[in-house]
Amino acid sequence: MRAAHSLDVSFKVMLTVGWFVLARFPGAASTVAAECPDQWPELQPWNPGHDPDYYVHIGQGRTLLLISSATVHSIRISEGGKLVIKDQDEAIVLRTRHILIDNGGELHAGSALCPFQGNFSIILYGRADEDVQPDPYFGLKYIGVDRGGTLELHGQKKLSWTFLNKTLHPGGMEEGGYFFERSWGHRGVIVHVIDPKSGTVIHSDRFDTYRSKKESERLAQHLNTVPDGRILSVAVNDEGSRNLDDVARKAMTKLGSKHFLHLGFRRHHPQW
């Protein structure tokens, strides 16, 4: 697994949750301890303080529990090392230039069965014009998970929302959605060229590639002349593979079709 966040401004991860139901039931303490990372018995309390020149490497099986806010130069977690964030009432803010997790390293704040209940922030600091050598893949400011690394951040599940600043029409287009109606007596490959903004069919044509190879050539020429940015709606009515040659098949494949190259006798696909 490889992921990266390369930013020119501070990146902050906020985890804020409410009460965890299991903690209210008698006899649930042992279950919570097993499911909550900050309750793992092998953890050692860690309070590195605030030192922007401190290069942190957590490896060789070290398992640390961050118990307070800290400022360091950078953090690398590898070789079986683990960093767990303590779930507590006091907020924890971790400031660093970057975090790299790889080769068996793990970073945990809560878990799927024990969401983080406190307030934890990661702030990536630094300026783009500083004389700092960037990582060849992740860049300068990042939370990078490389091969063998594990990043687990579990907070409260929140309801997604957004602002709507204008009318949303059916189908997402100003004049409504696009509708294609099948009709008999129009055998072959049917192509509609659609305007992406309005949903208007600009041009439509039918190519009877069942009857003639010339129709297959005409289809290929048509596909190659459609301007960039247009939307193509392509359908096969009844049968269209008998005289469909490789030129037309490859022209459609070049536009991104997944199945047109292998279209067979009355063998239709829901999407291309």
Q: Across residues 113-123, what is the average pLDDT?
A: 95
Q: What is the pTM of this model?
A: 0.51
> How much is the pLDDT for 69?
98
Share the mean pLDDT of the chain. 79
More confident residue, 257 or 267: 257
Listed by start position, the domains of the chain span 15-153, 170-262
Residue environment code for 103-140, b if the CB has 16+ CB neighbours within 10 A, otherwise e: bbbbbbbbbeebbbbbbbbbebebeeeeeeeeeeebbb
Whether residue 58 is predicted with pLDDT greater than 60 in this model: the reply is yes
* Residue 214 · residue 163 · CB < 8 Å: no
Give the highest mean pLDDT range of 9-18, 128-137, 161-170. Answer: 128-137
> How much is the pLDDT for 54?
97
Whether residue 238 is predicted with pLDDT greater than 90 in this model: the reply is no
